Amino acid sequence: MSTLHQAGRTGEHLISTVGQISNDIVDLAAGAALPAGQVLAYDSVQQLYVPYDNGSATAGVAAAVLYAPAPARTEVTRVVVTGRLAEVQGDMLTGLDAQARADFGSLFIVVR
């Protein structure tokens, strides 16, 4: 019998938010599929949100958390992100590290 793995569900990583003020609709760069709870950075060169990468010069500052899964994309896609005033469950975030946790402090995103 094969084992199935269920990815995180839409918004499952959220503990609390301040309604719509916590969310934004942003442009996500083309790329591989991303799970709900993916930590994102704003790439000022491309002017798009991309998966957070602490080792990158342009994607090394955590700026938001992806609200719902994003399928693989060949073009820029509009997505909902949580970008401020929220409480999230750290073990359900993809790409979270100590630096991203610190970056979220200035956005008032509390990681539990």
Q: In this model, does residue 56 exceed pLDDT 70?
A: yes
The residue written with tokens 């760069």 in the block is 29
Confidence of residue 4 (pLDDT cuts 50, 70, 90): low
41-74: string of b/e by CB count within 10 Å (b at 16+)? bbbeeeebbbbbbbeeeebebbbbbbbbbbeeee
Confidence of residue 50 (pLDDT cuts 50, 70, 90): very high
